[in-house]
């Protein structure tokens, strides 16, 4: 690009994202698309010059779009009903003919749809960047801060909410995630895209169209903005605006320059395009604007793949020093494998402006599908089932209004005085409260029945019943209960019962909201990829943390000792997750009440737990300086501030040291107790051995005494027996009996 072009594109006044105007994008060297040698690649015109997508393929894509089912008419009708445009032209003409121009449709669908969309805002959860390991903790913290800022500055939640409305009403909504070319605006851009601009591969079955072969966005762009954004195509765009009048002065046989030949070829492309499409379909001569066809498509490609693990593989980047060193060391397996590449081709009508390759793995447009038809995969939303009861409700309401206004005029053919009033006069004024009728004095029937004005209000009750049934169906069809709309259900007075009804309504739309969560996560995945691409430069110093915990880290820093890249952003295993709890004020208040109850319960038993929970309680409030007050409380209680990983690590190390100290004390106490027990056991053992020795000695003495007693018994049996008795009595503690103390023997009784 020359200097003049650089100056022209420095500050383009264009709403186009950077991938549409950046013609300096080079091909990915490690991802080479396979050359397409099918017959269609060389057919017709606009030779691809090595580019996979040419004009022939664009016409084939548009032909595929034309053959898709006409779901857009159904979507437009559903959105018209949400906006209150519910009367057809025939109904409006009939109302005018009946004099009921003031009757308007009662838009019940709009209230239900907006209530559902309000529940999305109420149940919205925070996003959080997670990592698979602690080695990239600093990178994860920094990307978390970047994502919070991007979510706030790009109004991403607003774009997602708009797409959710399209999902509920029309059946599909779209969100674009791109980079902004305006240097004074935020670098990222997240915006909702109307369904009329988006076309996609209907063969895709994935809920977020990851398996689609192509996506196409069609939009109008003013020529002056397009010229400022893409000055290299200024001459082509002006030739298109001028109807190629200035090219007629060139004779291709004489002026055979490369520029002239290119212009002649482009004019030929436009002429051939007109065989299939009208010029007015892509060019607006009144306002000087042209229709852009932005096609994102997948092609087979051969990629150089790095195998970091069994489940983690990356595309080799020759600009990444870590990739180069890993390949040079031979520690990482490198293969060439078949994969796909997402490319982007931009056309202004039949004229291709650019065709570039990307390293992206997903399309920049994320669909929000509600439901899809099983036969042709066409999307539809909740409103499609509510159109019939809404139409019935409107028809019955029109009929009731007609019954209230209608009058039945019954009179004899000679009842009126034709000189004073005619039948047409009375018919025009019959609904007036001051109706004046002059009867013919010479009429045959002079009774009161000669002229009667009546009505048929008896049918009103049946109309009201049918109308109320249709009103209820508008809620029953999408599964929305009255409790979700702020209406107390009949017979339901318990708060728990109301909560169950609201939960049941959420369950009825579970698949729709599940699709919404998948799409919302993909939006922030694309936004995270933009952050990663922005911070891939080497030796990039950034700040993380807040308050006293704020510190400087270096991203993508090469460590020569370990021969690795520290805080590598490009290869960090990070992903976007959605929180479990909504971030609305009501849910925060509920959390605050729960934390307050826990603090109150732990106040007397665990002051340490209170010190941990109290800062979280303060952060859940609406105080303007709640974060600072929470940090002050953490400092006062010796707890690290949020995000201060260094202090948290120091505290964890201190806690581990304290735990180790307590464990050592416990082990020492246990060891000391075991020693005391061993001493007691040894003492008991010694006493036992001494007792055994004494018992042995006593046994020996008893044996000796027994021998002596036996010897005495042999010499004197009576003395031996007396000695045994004395020994037994001595052991019992009683005095023995000798021969002198023996009682005299009593005389035997007679007959004993």
**Closest-CA residue to 226 (of 212, 216, 241):** 241
CA distance 162 to 523: 13
Burial 208-234 (b: 16+ CB within 10 A, else e): bbeebebbbbbbebebeebbbbbbebe
Inter-residue contact 124 to 560 (CB < 8 Å): no
CA distance 651 to 646: 9
Helix (H, G, I), strand (E, B) or coil at 326: helix
CA distance 616 to 593: 12
Inter-residue contact 527 to 150 (CB < 8 Å): yes
Inter-residue contact 374 to 79 (CB < 8 Å): no
The reported pLDDT for the residue numbered 155 is: 93
The reported pLDDT for the residue numbered 271 is: 73
Inter-residue contact 124 to 582 (CB < 8 Å): yes
CA distance 43 to 593: 70
Q: Provide the β-strand partners of residue 435.
A: none
Whether this prediction's pTM lies above 0.75 is answered by no
CA distance 391 to 470: 9
Long-range contacts, stretch 221-224, CB < 8 angstroms, 24+ apart: 221/14, 221/16, 221/289, 221/290, 221/291, 221/292, 222/287, 222/288, 222/289, 223/288, 223/289, 223/290, 224/288
Helix (H, G, I), strand (E, B) or coil at 314: strand
DSSP conformation class of 449: G
Burial 155-194 (b: 16+ CB within 10 A, else e): bbbebbbbbbbbbbbbbbbbbbbbbbbeeeeebbbbbbbe
The reported pLDDT for the residue numbered 648 is: 58
CA distance 609 to 627: 19
- Phi-psi map region of 582: left, alpha, beta (phi>0 left; psi -120 to 50 alpha): beta
The reported pLDDT for the residue numbered 239 is: 83
CA distance 188 to 720: 122
What parts of the chain have a pLDDT lower than 50? 1-14, 44, 251-254, 492, 731-732, 735-752
H or E element: which one contains 313?
Answer: strand 313-315
Q: Which tokens in the block code for residue 342?
A: 């997402």
What's the alpha-carbon Rg for the chain, to the nearest Å?
47
Inter-residue contact 299 to 36 (CB < 8 Å): yes
Q: What is the dihedral of CA 230, 236, 237, 240, to 10 degrees?
A: -170
Supply the DSSP string of 137-159, one letter for each residue: HHHHHHHHHHHHHHHHHTTHHHH
Burial 338-361 (b: 16+ CB within 10 A, else e): eeebbbbbbbbbbbbbbbbbbebe
CA distance 475 to 459: 26
**Closest-CA residue to 185 (of 153, 144, 145):** 153
CA distance 223 to 218: 15
Inter-residue contact 167 to 368 (CB < 8 Å): yes
pLDDT in tens, 528-586: 999 988 887 777 778 777 666 677 888 877 777 766 777 778 778 888 877 655 555 65
pLDDT in tens, 78-132: 999 999 999 988 888 888 888 788 888 889 898 888 888 888 887 788 888 888 7
Please report which residue ranges of 620-644 form alpha helices under DSSP H. Answer: 626-636
Q: For residue 128, give every residue at least 6 positions away whose Cβ sits within 8 Å of its Cβ, in sequence order, or none.
A: 144, 576, 577, 578, 579
Q: Provide the β-strand partners of residue 302.
A: 32, 338
Inter-residue contact 94 to 394 (CB < 8 Å): no
The reported pLDDT for the residue numbered 539 is: 75
Helix (H, G, I), strand (E, B) or coil at 466: helix
Helix (H, G, I), strand (E, B) or coil at 244: coil
CA distances from 688 to 54, 395, 675, 681, 682 (A): 106, 110, 20, 10, 10
Long-range contacts, stretch 701-709, CB < 8 angstroms, 24+ apart: none
**Closest-CA residue to 338 (of 372, 367, 376, 299):** 299
Q: Provide the β-strand partners of residue 346.
A: 294, 354
CA distance 410 to 319: 95
Q: Which tokens in the block code for residue 62?
A: 């548009």
Inter-residue contact 186 to 180 (CB < 8 Å): yes
The reported pLDDT for the residue numbered 746 is: 43
Q: Which tokens in the block code for residue 655?
A: 């806690």
* β-strands 31-33, 289-307 pairing: antiparallel
Q: Provide the β-strand partners of residue 46.
A: none
Q: What is the dihedral of CA 136, 137, 141, 144, to 10 degrees?
A: 60
CA distances from 41 to 36, 46, 100, 349, 604 (A): 6, 10, 62, 19, 79
Q: Which tokens in the block code for residue 600?
A: 């109150």
Q: Provide the β-strand partners of residue 241.
A: none
In 3-state terms the chain splits into helix, strand, coil percentages (rounded to 5) of 50, 15, 35
If you search the block for the tokens 């042995």, which residue do you land on?
696
């Amino acid at each position: 690009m020359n200097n003049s072009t650089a100056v022209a594109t420095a500050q383009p006044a264009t709403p186009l994202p950077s991938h549409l105007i950046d013609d300096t994008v080079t091909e990915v060297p490690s991802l080479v698309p396979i050359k397409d040698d099918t017959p269609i690649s060389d057919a017709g015109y606009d030779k691809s010059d090595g580019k996979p997508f040419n004009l022939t393929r664009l016409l084939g894509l548009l032909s595929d779009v034309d053959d898709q089912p006409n779901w857009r008419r159904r979507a437009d009708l559903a959105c018209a009903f949400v906006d209150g445009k519910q009367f057809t032209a025939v109904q409006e003409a009939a109302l005018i003919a009946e004099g009921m121009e003031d009757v308007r449709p009662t838009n019940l669908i709009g209230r239900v749809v907006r209530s559902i969309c309000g529940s999305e805002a109420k149940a919205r959860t925070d996003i959080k960047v997670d990592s698979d390991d602690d080695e990239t903790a600093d990178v994860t913290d920094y990307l978390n801060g970047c994502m919070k800022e991007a979510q706030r500055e790009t109004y991403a939640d607003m774009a997602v909410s708009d797409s959710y409305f399209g999902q509920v009403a029309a059946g599909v909504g779209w969100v674009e995630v791109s980079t902004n070319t305006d240097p004074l605006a935020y670098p990222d851009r997240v915006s909702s895209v109307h369904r009329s601009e988006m076309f996609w591969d209907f063969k895709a079955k994935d809920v977020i169209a990851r398996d689609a072969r192509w996506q196409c966005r069609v939009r109008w762009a003013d020529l002056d903005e397009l010229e400022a954004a893409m000055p290299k195509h200024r001459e082509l765009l002006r030739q298109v605006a001028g109807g190629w009048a200035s090219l007629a002065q060139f004779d291709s046989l004489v002026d055979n320059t490369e520029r002239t030949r290119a212009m002649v070829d482009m004019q030929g492309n436009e002429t051939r395009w007109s065989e299939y499409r009208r010029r007015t379909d892509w060019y607006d001569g009144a306002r000087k604007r042209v229709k852009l066809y932005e096609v994102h498509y997948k092609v087979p490609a051969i990629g150089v793949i790095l195998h970091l693990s069994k489940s983690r593989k990356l595309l080799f980047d020759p600009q990444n020093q870590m990739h180069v060193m890993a390949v040079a060391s031979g520690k990482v397996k490198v293969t060439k494998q078949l994969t796909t590449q997402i490319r982007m081709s931009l056309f202004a009508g039949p004229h291709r402006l650019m065709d570039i390759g990307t390293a992206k793995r997903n399309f920049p447009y994320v669909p929000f599908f509600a439901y899809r038809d099983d036969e042709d995969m066409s999307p539809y939303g909740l409103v499609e089932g509510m159109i019939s009861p809404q139409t019935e409700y409107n028809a019955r309401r029109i009929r009731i209004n007609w019954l209230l206004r209608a009058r039945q005029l019954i009179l004899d053919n000679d009842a009126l005085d034709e000189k004073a009033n005619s039948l047409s006069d009375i018919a025009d004024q019959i609904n007036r409260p001051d109706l004046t009728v002059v009867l013919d004095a010479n009429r045959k029937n002079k009774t009161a029945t000669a002229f009667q004005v009546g009505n048929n209000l008896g049918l009103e009750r049946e109309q009201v019943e049918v109308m109320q049934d249709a009103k209820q169906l508008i809620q029953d069809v999408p599964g929305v209960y009255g409790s979700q709309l702020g209406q107390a259900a009949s017979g339901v007075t318990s708060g728990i019962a109301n909560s169950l009804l609201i939960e049941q309504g959420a369950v009825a739309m579970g698949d729709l909201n599940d699709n919404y969560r998948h799409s919302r996560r993909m939006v922030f995945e694309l936004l995270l990829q933009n952050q990663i691409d922005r911070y891939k430069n080497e030796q990039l110093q950034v700040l993380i943390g807040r308050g006293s915990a704020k510190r400087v880290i270096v991203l993508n820093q090469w460590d020569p000792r370990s021969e690795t890249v520290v805080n590598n952003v490009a290869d960090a295993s990070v992903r976007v997750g959605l929180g479990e709890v909504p971030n609305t004020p009501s849910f925060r208040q509920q959390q605050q009440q729960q934390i307050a109850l826990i603090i109150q319960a732990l106040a007397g038993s665990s002051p340490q737990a209170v010190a941990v929970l109290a800062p979280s309680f303060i952060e859940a409030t609406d105080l303007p300086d709640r974060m600072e007050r929470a940090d002050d409380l953490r400092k006062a209680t010796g707890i690290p501030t949020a995000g201060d990983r260094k202090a948290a690590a120091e505290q964890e190390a201190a806690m581990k040291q304290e735990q180790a100290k307590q464990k050592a004390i416990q082990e020492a106490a246990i060891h000391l107790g075991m020693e005391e027990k061993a001493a007691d056991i040894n003492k008991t053992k010694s006493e036992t051995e001494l007792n055994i020795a004494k018992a042995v000695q006593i046994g020996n003495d008893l044996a000796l005494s027994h021998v002596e007693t036996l010897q005495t018994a042999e010499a004197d049996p009576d003395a031996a027996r007396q000695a045994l008795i004395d020994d037994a009595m001595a052991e019992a503690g009683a005095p023995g009996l000798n021969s002198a103390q023996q009682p005299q023997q009593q005389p035997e009784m007679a007959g004993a």
